[in-house]
A and B are shown apart, each in its own frame.
Chain A
Amino acid sequence: MAKEGHGAGSNRPRLSLHVPEPKGRPGDPANFSDLKIPEAGAQPRPDEHCAPKETFPLCDDLIRVLGDDNFAHGLWDPQLHPDKLRAILRDMALVRAFDDRLYRSQRQGKTSFYMKCIGEEATSVAATHALDFEDMTFPSYRQQGILIARGYPLVEMVNQIYSNRADKLKGRQLPILYSSREYGFFTVSGNLTTQVPQAVGWAMASAIRNDSRISASWTGEGSTAEGDFHSAMTFATVYNAPTIFNIVNNQWAISSFSGFAGSERATFAARAIGYGVAGLRVDGNDPLAVYAAERWAADRARSNHGPTLIEFFTYRAEGHSTSDDPSAYRSAQEREEWPLGDPVMRLKDHLIAIGEWSEEQQEAMDKELAEQVRMATKEAEKNGILGHGLHHPFHTMFEDVFEELPWNLKEQSEAALRERKLKWPE
């Protein structure tokens, strides 16, 4: 009998295992030679009601609107009013200012954890601007831009991050795992991709009720490897669910490059076609292209033409979280040399190019937004920061496990209060 693992007794060629490797590790120059970046405006725009397979060419392409000349090009130009463009720019800049300050708050020990979305602001902000306020969003943890684009109070966001006595989630959740039913922002889970089949179920419910609202989920490219993604795609196509799958392909899942989610041989958009779902692949740093694609998918879903998967091709400019150091696994130059640029700068440059904005206005706005965030954090700090005693009362820990407190939780709640008196005598 042949010994396993030695190919003994056979003259057939030996097999070898392929383990993907990114193009650049620490110390290497950035290498984007294999990226195909098409001209802005070169992509066809099929009808929103087309058969899913008609979107196949777009799954291997990259929908781009803003060209190197800072003007909008082609059929995907959403032709937005300058007021709308300025609103998107403002929301993206606000997300960036918020990230900047709250990142520092974590470093100052005011909270335990934070995650930025630098470089990816368009994928949540511009996409949200293309939806109706009533549409339900099912975000992952890097879509703070949805809340900001919907006008959610910054103070509430900071209260949640600080887990203080004003935190609407009562200090139960890790920072940034927000929830707001009122703002159509589904409670964020730590478990990856679980929100994707949930978004499909929500959309099915809307269809069962003959409602007109749609749902949209966001997940990273790494999370598409979860089984939930397959379940969700199957459910969505079977029931023609009015939903949008936003895949934010920022190239990195913590330290694993997108090759570990299968990017070496197919785009993430291309997965849509196998399921019979429409697919679009979009320059995620081009706010106009993001808006146009999301709007296309929303119109498609709203008119009962079914689900769309959109791959937003972008780059995670920062570490994964405050607990991560990207210099330990990727080329330091990647961020600087990312060929699709910066979404905030690209929209700013576009507005300036069309005579609707100026560097001075941008500078003034950035200052104003930084101040707005500063005021919000100051206001939130009055309600406490993590670990400084201003948290929700003890008994709230036991509430909302069930609608009503069962006997065992009542007993445990009483025990916790007794323990509290011993630990922290008045």
Chain B
Amino acid sequence: MIHEEDDPVSLADAPTRRLNMIEAINDALDIMLARDPDVVIMGQDVGYFGGVFRATAGLQEKHGKTRVFDTPITECGIIGAAVGMGAYGLRPVPEIQFADYIYPGLDQLVSEAARLRYRSAGEFISPMTVRTPFGGGIFGGQTHSQSPEALFAHVSGLKTVVPSTPYDAKGLLIAAIEDNDPVIFFEPKRIYNGPFDGYYDRPSKPWKAHDASEVPEGYYTIPLGKARMVREGETLTVLAYGTMVHVVESVCREKGVDAEVLDLRTLVPLDIEAVEKSVKKTGKCLVVHEATRTAGFGAELSALVQERCFYHLEAPVQRVTGFDTPYPHSLEWAFFPGPIRIGEAIDMLLSE
């Protein structure tokens, strides 16, 4: 599979539209349905209704009921059928309505989709992209807020992607659909409509004011496995993805620290070169994610940085994460790793 970005000159010249993340995802799906007759979209409420978050709005009407259709409420059935469709030769893009509800499909993902290529020595593959809204910050309580990326990053054979902007969401989703390996595409629903700085009590901003909502028309990809340099800096490296990229960016701006922020974009395969290069330059590393702490993806990042940048480190690697509790409803903003928790960790690292 070719994942090269289109010629940057032509991409820069392409006409753009201001899109929020939902519209960018919809655009990516629309383009792939048109480009590749093997692409099929299915999931709960994705057909006629266009999805509970509108990600598939208009697609059934445009591409037909056998390309975009509603499914029964069975995540096991959705993923299982997608494995069978992939074995046939289609390129299914199933949706799981919330990442919190992906668990009934977990056996099909872990035991089947992830291992199909390996156990059949390449005879059968599972080129599916599972789209699923994830993350908190929306008063979703225990079952509409989870960030289960570490469960998937731990499974050999699965790729894990988390976009943080409309521009990335479109390019990464197209790349994921074209990828011949199964991809779990986590969509941070808190930033579907606008970036989030972590200040829940301030009015939310729409994407329109953000540069990354300038989305080129037509087809382009962002390669899986490549991090995005959000801002360059010298004093510490912050590794983040999804909603937390924007929270971190805002904290760094407010505090006026010269931090380098990397948006990982893909957790598996990880852009280890970008991580190493940055931490070796700054000597300090902070890892930020919404997911719970213990055995979260931050533990993997922290271990990798320690193994690979040990002699460059000037302070212990720090993690700012959700707490090791189920995601609470009323105490959401006490749970969410917001500006104060991140700010304290940055202060601590800088004082080392």
Name the distance in Å between A277's Cβ and chain B's nearest Cβ.
14
* Interchain nearest-CB distance for A235 vs B (Å): 5
One of B10-18, B86-94, B205-213, B245-253 contacting the partner: B86-94
Known contacts A235-B77, A401-B156, A401-B157; A169/B121 CB under 8 A: yes
Interface membership of chain A positions 193-206, coded 1 if the CB is closer than 8 angstroms to chain B and 0 otherwise: 01011111111111
- A190: chain B residues within 8 A (beta carbon): 111
> Is B46 positioned at the interface, with any CB of A under 8 Å from its CB?
no
- Per the bound structure, the CA–CA distance linking A19 and B123 in Å amounts to 44
Shortest Cβ gap from B138 to chain A (Å): 29
The 8 A CB mask of A310-337 against B (1 = contact, 0 = none) is: 0000000000000000000000000000
- B84 closest partner in A (C-beta): A201
Whether the pair B81, A200 counts as a contact (CB closer than 8 A) is yes
Nearest residue (CB) in A for B77 is A231
Given A180-B123, A202-B84, A205-B84: A197 and B76 interface contact (C-beta under 8 Å): yes
Bound-state Cα–Cα, A205 to B42, Å? 12
Residues in B with CB closer than 8 Å to A227 are 76, 104
A56 at the interface (CB under 8 A from B): no
Question: A400 contacts the other chain (Cβ, under 8 Å)?
Answer: yes
Taken together as a complex, chains A and B put the C-alpha atoms of A227 and B78 apart, in Å, by 13
Contact with A along B83-109 (1 / 0, CB 8 A): 111111110100000000000100110
Number of interface residues of A (CB under 8 A): 47
Residue ID in chain B nearest A403 by CB atoms: B180
User: How distant is the Cα of A406 from the Cα of B272 in the complex, in angstroms?
Assistant: 10
In the bound complex, residues from chain B placing their C-beta under 8 Å from that of A207 are 66
Contact yes or no, A204 B85, CB < 8 A: yes
Interface string of A386-409 (1 = CB under 8 A from B): 000000000000001111001110
Contact A173 B119 (CB under 8 A): yes
**Does B159 reach chain A (CB closer than 8 Å)?**
yes
Within 8 A of B (CB), among A370-418: 400-403, 406-408
Flag whether A299 is at the interface (Cβ < 8 A).
no
Give the residue among B81, B85, B156 with the most A Cβ atoms within 10 A: B81
Q: In the bound complex, do residue B81 and residue A402 qualify as a contact, i.e. CB atoms below 8 Å apart?
A: no
Q: Which residues of B contact A201 (CB under 8 A)?
A: 80-88, 92
B116 interfacial contact with A, CB 8 Å = yes
Q: Decide yes or no whether B124 CB sits under 8 A from chain A.
A: yes
Given A191-B107, A197-B76, A407-B269, A206 and B88 touching (CB < 8 A)?
A: yes
- Which B residue's beta carbon lies closest to that of A180? B123
Say yes or no: B84 contacts A197, CB within 8 Å.
yes
Set B71, B81, B121, B156: member contacting A179, Cβ < 8 A: B121
Enumerate chain B residues within 8 angstroms of A224, measured Cβ to Cβ.
none
The interface residues of chain A lying within 8 Å CB-to-CB of B179 are 403
Contact B157 A202, beta carbon cutoff 8 Å: no
Given contacts A186-B87, A205-B84, A235-B74, contact A172 B123 (CB under 8 A): no
CA distance in complex: A197, B89 (Å): 16
Report Cα–Cα, A138/B81, bound state, in Å.
Answer: 12
A400 CA to B121 CA in the complex, in Å?
6
Is there a chain A Cβ closer than 8 Å to B112's Cβ?
A: yes
Annotate B111-142 by CB proximity to A: 1 below 8 A, 0 otherwise: 11001111111111100000000000000000
Q: How far is the CB of B309 from chain A (nearest CB, A)?
A: 15
Which A residue's beta carbon lies closest to that of B273?
Answer: A407
Distance, CA A177 to CA B180, complexed state (A):
23
The answer to whether B77 and A197 touch across the interface, beta carbons within 8 angstroms, is: yes
Within the assembled complex, what's the spacing in Å between the Cα atoms of A197 and B72?
Answer: 13
Q: How far is the CA of A231 from the CA of B71 in the complex (A)?
A: 11
A402 to B123, CA, bound (A): 13
* Contacts across chains A and B counted by CB atoms under 8 Å: 150
Query: Given A194-B108, A194-B111, A235-B72, does the pair A400, B85 have CB atoms closer than 8 Å?
Result: no
Residues on A with beta carbons closer than 8 Å to the beta carbon of B269: 402, 406-408
Instruction: List A contacts of B119 (CB < 8 A).
Output: 169, 172-173, 177, 179, 187, 189
Residues of A within 8 A of B40 (CB): 205, 208
A39 at interface (Cβ–Cβ under 8 A)?
Answer: no
Q: Which of A169, A208, A232 contacts B80 (CB 8 A)?
A: A232
In the bound complex, CA of A400 to CA of B40 (Å): 24
Q: Are A205 and B90 in contact (CB under 8 A)?
A: yes
Q: A49 in the interface, Cβ–Cβ < 8 Å?
A: no
Shortest CB distance A182–B (Å): 8
- CB contacts (< 8 Å) of B104 on chain A: these are 227
- A186 to B118, alpha carbons, bound, how many Å? 13
B168 within 8 A of A: no
A window 216-234: CB within 8 A of B: 227-228, 230-232, 234
Q: Does chain A have a CB within 8 A of B225?
A: yes
CB pair B121 A202 closer than 8 Å? no
The smallest C-beta distance from A185 to any residue of chain B, in angstroms, reads 10
Contacts of A196 in B (CB 8 A): 80
B177 to chain A, nearest CB (A): 14
The answer, yes or no, to whether A238 is at the interface (CB within 8 Å) is yes
B112 touches A189 (CB 8 A): yes
Q: Is A181 an interface residue (CB 8 A)?
A: yes
Residues of A within 8 A of B331 (CB): none
* Contact A402/B159 with A179-B121, A194-B108, A205-B88 known, Cβ cut-off 8 Å: yes
Given contacts A205-B85, A208-B40, A228-B76, is CB(A187)–CB(B116) below 8 Å? yes
Q: Tell whether A181 pairs with B120 under 8 Å between CB atoms, given A402-B181, A408-B269.
A: yes
Q: How far is the CA of A207 from the CA of B250 in the complex (A)?
A: 50
Interface check B1, CB cutoff 8 A: yes
Whole-angstrom distance between the Cβ of B231 and the nearest chain A Cβ: 25
B77 lies within 8 A of A401 (CB): no
**In the complex, A202→B111 CA distance in Å?**
18
Mask of A133-146 contacts with B, CB within 8 angstroms, 1/0: 00010100000000
For B80, B86, B112, B156, which residue has the most chain A Cβ atoms within 10 angstroms? B80
A400 to B115, CA, bound (A): 9
B124/A228 in contact, CB under 8 A: no
Q: Which residues in chain B, 210-234, are within 8 Å of chain A measured between CB atoms? A: 225
Q: Quick one: closest B residue to A202, CB to CB? A: B84
Interface contact A228-B80, CB-CB below 8 Å: yes
- Indicate with 1 or 0, residue by residue over B139-156, a CB within 8 angstroms of chain A CB atoms: 000000000000000001
Nearest Cβ distance between residue A101 and chain B, in whole angstroms?
Answer: 25
Measured CB to CB, the nearest residue on chain B to A217 is B84
Q: Which residues of B contact A406 (CB under 8 A)?
A: 225, 268-269
Contact B117 A403 (CB under 8 A): yes
Given A189-B112, A194-B108, answer yes or no on A235-B120 (Cβ-Cβ < 8 Å): no
Q: A208-B66, A228-B76, A234-B72 are in contact. Are A179 and B89 (CB under 8 A)?
A: no
Minimal beta-carbon separation of A172 from chain B (angstroms): 6
Q: A172-B119, A179-B124 are in contact. Are A235 and B1 (CB under 8 A)?
A: no
Q: List 6 A-B contacts (CB under 8 A).
A: A186-B87, A200-B84, A204-B81, A207-B66, A401-B156, A402-B157
Excluding A172-B119, A191-B107, A202-B84, 10 further A-B contacts by CB distance (< 8 Å) are A136-B87, A169-B121, A179-B119, A197-B80, A199-B84, A201-B86, A202-B87, A208-B90, A228-B80, A402-B269
The list of the 9 closest CB pairs from A to B, nearest first, reads A201-B84, A197-B80, A201-B81, A231-B77, A205-B88, A198-B84, A187-B120, A202-B84, A406-B269
